[in-house]
Amino acid sequence: KMTRVVVVGSCMTDLTSYTPHLPNPGETICGHRFSVCFGGKGANQCVVATRLGANTAMVAMVGDDSFGQNYLQNFRDNGVDIAHVGVTEKAATGVAQIAVDDSGENCIIIIAGANLKLTPRDVERAEEVIKGSDVMVCQGEISMEATLAALKLARKHGVKTLMNAAPAVPNLHPDIIKHSDIFCVNENEAEVMTKRKVKTVQDALEAGKLLLDQGCGSAVITLGKDGAVFCQKGHQDIHVSAEAVTPVDTTGAGDAFVGALAYFLAYHPGLTMEEMMHRCSKVASVSVQAPGTQTSYPTRSNLPPTLFA
Ligand code: RIB
Ligand code: NA
């Protein structure tokens, strides 16, 4: 099985509390439910692509602890190649402490831990896997040096790069965006990257232009219930709307979109960008209707066959 989608990114154990509303500073509230699940933006995106039918590999680092061992098993259970997932004694497996309110809104604290121990050297050891892939996906939950090393390797071998600059960092290394064929962010991350408000579709299209000026090949900005936009020089702007659904838990919806995009870029490269974005938006809208991140991602058989035509 040849890898077609490789993700160089994060794994986190998600410790999620479901609560009536998000806590205010100094406030103690009673939640209804707690869960321990597999998350982390990189792994989430990798699992989505795999469930849609991609042959995937993960380049990542977990800690030498039970969360890390469980995570390796989770990758095996999902059929992800983990030859390049290392185990370090230098830090604990990444964790995300998540609160989700009754409207499906969330706030998240991540402790990246072992994710930050993935070095450029570790990434370079995965050169063959990256070289053989159609698409490589990165996010912002590992060190910038490791991400940059991955993007450079992908560029060297003509592999399409999909960079999801999440979570938002104000001082992203300028070469990261320059090495991104597709640079994907949500409205908040777009605000941080462009230093202007991104609330409406029009704002997002303007922010997309500013991201293009920073050197990416194209830009995708996801807008939650308002869908997503796409900008590329010499290409008509695209806005796709999202299906109106009642969200249960929006955590990881962006990852569903990005993972699906990686799948479609690798396996359906003939589709228009607009069509791909419609399909990615569909996958994301399914994910918000069930709790958790990976627990809510559909498999191919749970989606309309038209998505794969
Ligand atoms: O994007 C959602 C993810 O962000 C969660 O799974 C959590 O681990 C955080 O990294
Ligand atoms: Na979900």
4-39 tens-digit pLDDT = 999 999 999 999 999 999 999 999 999 999 999 999
The band of 88, judged by pLDDT with boundaries at 50, 70 and 90, is very high
Residue 148 Cα to ligand 2 midpoint, Å, equals 29
Average pLDDT over residues 35-49: 98
Residue 232 pLDDT exceeds 80: yes
pLDDT tens-digit map of 73-85: 999 999 999 999 9
pLDDT of residue 104: 85
Nearest atom of ligand 1 to the alpha carbon of 95: 8
Say how far apart CA 108 and CA 174 lie, in whole Å.
26
Nearest atom of ligand 1 to the alpha carbon of 12: 8
pLDDT of residue 170: 82
81 is catalytic: no
The long-range contacts involving 152-156, CB below 8 angstroms and separated by at least 24 positions, are: 152/179, 153/123, 153/124, 153/127, 154/130, 154/179, 155/179
Say how far apart CA 251 and CA 248 lie, in whole Å.
9
C-alpha to C-alpha distances, 118 to 9, 114, 228, 253, nearest whole angstrom: 9, 7, 31, 25
Mean pLDDT for the chain overall: 97
What residues flank ligand 1, with Cβ below 6 Å? 12, 14, 39-41, 44, 96, 108, 110, 141, 251-252, 254-255, 293
Residue 285 Cα to ligand 2 midpoint, Å, equals 9
pLDDT of residue 82: 98
Instruction: Kindly state the percentage of the chain with pLDDT values over 70.
Output: 100
pLDDT of residue 134: 98
Say if CB 43 and CB 75 are below 8 A apart: yes
Residue 259 pLDDT exceeds 90: yes
pLDDT of residue 105: 87
Residue 1 pLDDT exceeds 80: no
Residue 298 pLDDT exceeds 80: yes
Q: For residue 37, which ligand has an atom nearest its CA? A: 1
Residue 12 Cα to ligand 2 midpoint, Å, equals 16
pLDDT of residue 102: 92
Q: State the number of CA atoms in the 13 A half-sphere of 295 facing the CB.
A: 15
Nearest atom of ligand 1 to the alpha carbon of 294: 6
DSSP conformation class of 272: -
DSSP conformation class of 63: E
pLDDT of residue 195: 95
Residue 188 pLDDT exceeds 90: yes
Residue 42 pLDDT exceeds 80: yes
Average pLDDT over residues 151-169: 97
Average pLDDT over residues 274-292: 96
The band of 169, judged by pLDDT with boundaries at 50, 70 and 90, is confident
Query: Could you say which of 14, 81, 122, 255 is catalytic?
Result: 255
Average pLDDT over residues 44-52: 98
Q: Which residues contact 309 (CB under 8 A, 6 or more apart)?
A: none
Residue 99 pLDDT exceeds 80: yes
Which two tokens mark 67?
């969360």
pLDDT of residue 77: 98
The three-class DSSP label of residue 185 is: strand
Say if CB 16 and CB 292 are below 8 A apart: yes
pLDDT tens-digit map of 191-225: 999 999 999 999 999 999 999 999 999 999 999 99
Average pLDDT over residues 148-159: 98
Say how far apart CA 114 and CA 93 lie, in whole Å.
5
The band of 279, judged by pLDDT with boundaries at 50, 70 and 90, is very high
